[in-house]
Every structure is written in structure tokens, then in C-alpha cells.
Amino acid sequence: MTLEDTGAFVAPDQLPATVTAGDEWWRTAVIYQVYPRSFADSTGDGVGDLVGITGKLPALVELGVDAVWLSPFFRSPQKDAGYDVSDYRDVDPLFGTLEQFDTLLGTAHEFGLRVIVDIVPNHTSDQHAWFQEALAAPEGSPERDRYMFRDGRGPNGDLPPNNWESVFGGSMWERLTKPDGTPGQWYLHIFDRSQPDLNWENLWVREQFHDILRFWLDRGVDGFRVDVAHGMIKQAGLPDYTPPVEAASMGGSATDLSPGIENSVVHPDPPYWGQDGVHEIWRGWHAVLAEYEGDRVLCAEAWVDPLSKVALWVRPDEMSQAFNFAYMFTDWKAPALRRVIDESLEAFGGVGAPATWVLSNHDVIRHASRLALGADAPPQGAGIGPGSTVKPDRALGLRRARAATSIMLALPGSAYLYQGEELGLPEDIELPDAARQDPTWFRTGGEKYGRDGCRVPIPWEADAPAYGFNATGASWLPQPSDWDGYARDAQEGIVGSTLELYRSALRSRRELNLGGGSVLWLNGYGSSVVAFRNGELTVIANLGPVPVELPVGRVVLASEQIVGGVLPTDTTVWIAPN
Ligand code: GLC
């Protein structure tokens, strides 16, 4: 079969939108998420740190990524693994010092790697000086107005101000106790009670964050991943809200984001997600970044749907890119994948932003496990553990993960990788209850396992203590005893290993400028196949049970071994002209 036989050539007016030309580095970048607690630990205390990360940067250069996104390392009581910040302008001693951050940044830049830091503006830690000042100040004071304090309902104010439920479980409201021991006002926390929501209608709060951005931009960071960029503004009057279906915990309707978009039903956003008022905030942040030389990036974590709504976050005067969670949660089915790719290119391209692609991060079940679960995958945030009824098949999950990544890295736009996925790491589903740390686990009384299973320190060396995460063997979450085969040194130079697959994909992506290209669908392979051209490259992924005959050409990348010119199930191949 030739490419022509497949009906490859589609009239130009039928082409999906392409990535708008622009030469900012982030339009095509592959951005690698480092979760500092679990990447590399130089002190041996069991928690990763900045010196550890700096020492491992050469491994990321060899992998072939363009930028590193660091999850929070700021001062924090670590109630939500650092997403509870008590000082946005300092490094938590757990991770090191500001000087060590400067060294990390300088070293990364010498290696040609950009660095993005993670700003958490929706809420602070309850230990932040602003919240402590608010607690000490009287009701109705300017200090209290920085947060969302309200009187309770009912005769004595004993009932929370509304019925909203925290993402981590339980009420979204916590009641204060006054110094004389009597109950006081309530404060809003979308997440843990140690994470009070800021009042973003307050201009003082807005100015503070502009200065926090400048603090990091002055140090030379290349941009920010913005946590909960769909939160911040709440609907006026804070009306009661009952989700129409079991909502995906971070937002978006359950049917749309989990387990896939195939049968999507889009429900209106709850009164605390995706409100119109957030966009004025992002225009302000855009203006702050514009004060600086060079291309700095703002990446939105905005769990809203449909994708045409996510695109509002990346209009030309707002943020640069937004995570594509609809893509992340798309079923492993060819029609659904084709549809979400089209929708992504159209939605993001329509506002001049690059599409983004992502399969794993620190909040979701690793895709090497998730893709084996199909419709049995639990909703986002719920996690999976020893008592779960579903158990992902490791071999199937890894095979699909390799095929999925091989699709993703051929798509135009920017791609996000999560540390460990280049090793094919599965979710750790055997973590003992006593080791769990995610507030979701505690706030739901163990009903939801939460996200610890994707956060376990990653393996570097098969035969070293803590698999080379550190020299002592300590690990803040215990590592499984059978991860030696996933260790980086066990995969380096091994043909067919997941690490070598990622390296090779990233090398070819760069050489063939796949990030800057476009998608031209190839028809004729049947409904279980995702096939497209990006420039000269043909990408074919077989998601069905029947082997697919391959066109003539040079195999540039194959997620599994190809024998006899046919593409087996759950396999992706990249083919260049001979
Ligand atoms: C974001 C983070 C998540 C965190 C939450 C609250 O969703 O990715 O890890 O728990 O925000 O800050």
C-alpha cells in the first residue's frame, strides 16, 4: 500500500487549523515536569532537593527536552506537598536555598534548558503571614478582606456559608475559633483547610502577585506554570451548588474529563471554577511578563471544558498555553483521539496559541497504568490502591503508554512530560495506607486513595539504595521492590527500552520540526487507526486488534518491534520517505 492509496491527500479547505506561526520557544517546546520531592535527593533525608535536580540536569539534556517545569519548592508546611505556600519569595529549607535555586537556573541555562516555576495564586498556606494577619485582625478589616471570610448560616452561624464541597473532600468551609474560645467566621478553602482561598477581587492581592512574578522574573526564570488558573474568582453571592453528575474533582464534567471525551456532556462550570472575571487577572500577568526581555511563558492549569472554553485562557493578551486535560483523559480509542486532536488544534489554533499535549502529571494516575484501565479508570484525583477492584495490567499499560507517547510527540505544538514516564514507570498501586500523604486520603477518610501513587521517588540506578534517588535509601514514599528494571541505568543504551524510545522520539521530533508542523489526516486505514502526516513524516497508530499493513518508507520510530511490514495492536510507528 502507498500513502496515496490511503487517501492521504485532503483538500486544503478541509485541513484542521495549524499552529500559528510565531517563533517563541514555547510554541513547540517539550517541557519536562520535575516534582522536586521525588526527583533526586542530595542530602539523603528522603526528600528530593534543588542540588539533587541540578546534578541530574545532564540526564534531561540527554533525554532531549527543551524546558523544565519545577513543581513548588517555596516555603511551605507541606500539607499539600508544597502547593500550600507560606512564602512565595523563598525556598523551603527542605529543598535548599535561594542561592541553590540560582545555581540550578544558571546551570540549566548553560545547558540550554529553560526553567519554569509553579506559582500557586488561588490560595496560600494558612501559615502565610497574610493569613496569620487576617486571623489576628477584626472581622471586616482589610486584612480579612484578602481572603474569603464569611459569616455562617443558621441562627448562630453554625452552618457553613454554602454547600460547596472541597476538591479534597468534606466542606469547603472551616470555622474559626475566636481568642475567647467562641466560634467565629468561616473561611473558604477549595482544597485542604490549610489552604485558604485568596480574595482575588482585592486589588492589594493582585499587586502582591505582580511583585511575586517580578521577583522570579528578575532571577531569570523563563515563565510560570499557574496552579488552579480556573479558580481565583467565585460567582457573586457564593450560591449553593450541587453537581449534576459526580464531578471530576478539579473541574470539568465527569463524563467529559474522566474517562474520556467520547461521550462528553458539557455541564456549566460550578460557581468557583472558570468564572469570567479570571481573565482580567491573566491580562494583568501578561502585562507583567511583557515588562521583561525574551519570551516568557504562562501556562494555565485550567480544568474547564470544552476545549473552546480552555482556549479563552490563551487568547493573545492572556496566557501562552494551557494544559490539554481533554487529551490526557481521552479513551484509548482511535475515533476519540482523532476528535480530540482536531478539537485541540482548532480551539487553540483559533486564538493563535499552540496546542498542548500531556498524558501524565503529579495529579493523575500515570498513563502507563491508566491506559490499561479504560472505562474502569477512577475519576481524576481518586487514585488507585491495594483495595481497588481494578488492577491495571502492567504490560498492556506500558505498551499503550509507549504507543500513546509516540502519537503525542509527533503532534504540532508543545508537549509536557512528567518525570519517570520516560522510564515507563507505572502507578504504584501497592502503597501501604500508613505511608500515604495526600490530603485527599485523609479528608475522605480513606475512601479515595488520592495521588501518592504517581509521586513515588523515581529510580536512577537498579542496584543502588533508593534506586539511586539518594545515597541513604530513605524515601518519603516507599519505592516498590520491583522497580529495578525501570531504573535509568538499566535502560540506557538498551535498544527498545522506554528511555531509548523517548530519546529517539525527541531527537526526531526536533530534527523533523514536528512541534512546528501540522496534522494531515490519512484516511483508509480503518476506524481503529490514528494515521496522519506531519510534514514529511507519516505517523500510524494501531489501536485495534487487527494488524495493519504499513506503507513503504523508512521506519524512524516504532513503539514496539515491527516484523514483516505490519503494525501490531497498540503500536505506533513513524515513517519517513525512503
Ligand atoms: C493543583 C496542583 C495540585 C494541588 C492543587 C491545589 O491542581 O496540581 O497538586 O493539590 O492545585 O494547589
CA of 83 to the centre of ligand 1 (A): 6
When pLDDT is averaged across residues 444-466 and rounded to a whole number, the result is 97
CA of 71 to the centre of ligand 1 (A): 10
When pLDDT is averaged across residues 461-471 and rounded to a whole number, the result is 98
Percent with pLDDT over 70 in the chain: 93
When pLDDT is averaged across residues 284-300 and rounded to a whole number, the result is 97
Q: How much is the pLDDT for 252?
A: 65
Among the residue ranges 289-298, 372-381, 436-445, the one predicted with the least confidence is 372-381
When pLDDT is averaged across residues 315-337 and rounded to a whole number, the result is 97
**Segment 516-539, tens digit of pLDDT:** 999 999 999 999 999 999 999 999
**How far apart (Å, rounded) are the C-alpha atoms in residues 129 and 552?**
65
Name the phi and psi angles at 317, rounded to 5: -105, 15
Among the residue ranges 251-260, 275-284, 343-352, 522-531, the one predicted with the least confidence is 251-260
When pLDDT is averaged across residues 165-171 and rounded to a whole number, the result is 94
The ligand 1 atom nearest the CA atom of 83: 12
Percent with pLDDT over 90 in the chain: 90
Q: Check: CB of residue 73 under 8 Å from CB of residue 63.
A: no
CA of 227 to the centre of ligand 1 (A): 6
Residue among 363, 364, 437, 448 whose CB has most ligand 1 atoms within 8 A, to mutate: 363
Residue 568 DSSP one-character state: -
> What sign results for the dihedral spanned by CA atoms 183, 188, 192, 194?
negative
The pocket around ligand 1, CB under 6 angstroms, is made up of 80, 83, 120, 191, 227-228, 250, 301, 362-363
Q: How much is the pLDDT for 265?
A: 62
Name the phi and psi angles at 89, rounded to 5: -110, 20
Distance in Å from the first CA to the final CA of the chain: 14
pLDDT of 3 above 70: no
Mean pLDDT of the chain: 93
Which long-range contacts link 285-288 to residues 24+ away (Cβ below 8 Å)? Answer: 285/209, 285/210, 285/213, 285/226, 285/319, 286/317, 286/318, 286/319, 288/210, 288/213, 288/214, 288/217
When pLDDT is averaged across residues 451-479 and rounded to a whole number, the result is 98
CA of 195 to the centre of ligand 1 (A): 11
Q: How much is the pLDDT for 181?
A: 94
Q: How much is the pLDDT for 214?
A: 98
When pLDDT is averaged across residues 132-155 and rounded to a whole number, the result is 97
Confidence of residue 262 (pLDDT cuts 50, 70, 90): very low
pLDDT of 170 above 90: yes
- 246 given a catalytic annotation: no
The active-site residue out of 197, 227, 331, 452 is: 227
pTM: 0.94
Confidence of residue 247 (pLDDT cuts 50, 70, 90): low
Confidence of residue 249 (pLDDT cuts 50, 70, 90): low
pLDDT of 264 above 80: no
- Residue with the smallest CA separation from ligand 1 atom 2 is 227
**How far apart (Å, rounded) are the C-alpha atoms in residues 200 and 293?**
28
The ligand 1 atom nearest the CA atom of 451: 9
DSSP letter for each residue of 446-469: TSS--SGGG-SPPPS-TTSGGGGT
Confidence of residue 269 (pLDDT cuts 50, 70, 90): confident
**How far apart (Å, rounded) are the C-alpha atoms in residues 472 and 512?**
43
Q: How much is the pLDDT for 255?
A: 40
Q: State whether residue 107 is helix, strand or coil.
A: helix
Residue among 227, 230, 358, 380 whose CB has most ligand 1 atoms within 8 A, to mutate: 227
When pLDDT is averaged across residues 110-127 and rounded to a whole number, the result is 98
Grid cell for residue 156:
448562630
Q: How much is the pLDDT for 16?
A: 37
H helices present in 220-363, as ranges: 254-257, 278-290, 307-310, 325-328, 334-350
**How far apart (Å, rounded) are the C-alpha atoms in residues 17 and 20?**
8
pLDDT of 71 above 90: yes
- Residue 59: count of CB within 10 angstroms of its CB: 15
- Residue with the smallest CA separation from ligand 1 atom 9 is 363
- 291 given a catalytic annotation: yes
The active-site residue out of 158, 280, 291, 447 is: 291
Q: Is 405 left (phi over 0), alpha (psi -120 to 50) or beta?
A: alpha
**Segment 37-65, tens digit of pLDDT:** 999 999 999 999 999 999 999 999 999 99
CA of 228 to the centre of ligand 1 (A): 7
Q: Check: CB of residue 528 under 8 Å from CB of residue 542.
A: yes
When pLDDT is averaged across residues 30-38 and rounded to a whole number, the result is 98
Q: How much is the pLDDT for 431?
A: 97
Residue among 228, 360, 441 whose CB has most ligand 1 atoms within 8 A, to mutate: 228
Which helix (H) or strand (E) segment holds residue 481: the answer is: none
pLDDT of 21 above 50: no
Among the residue ranges 94-108, 171-185, 257-271, 416-430, the one predicted with the least confidence is 257-271
pLDDT of 341 above 70: yes
The ligand 1 atom nearest the CA atom of 363: 9
Confidence of residue 10 (pLDDT cuts 50, 70, 90): very low
When pLDDT is averaged across residues 359-386 and rounded to a whole number, the result is 95
CA of 272 to the centre of ligand 1 (A): 15
- Residue with the smallest CA separation from ligand 1 atom 7 is 228
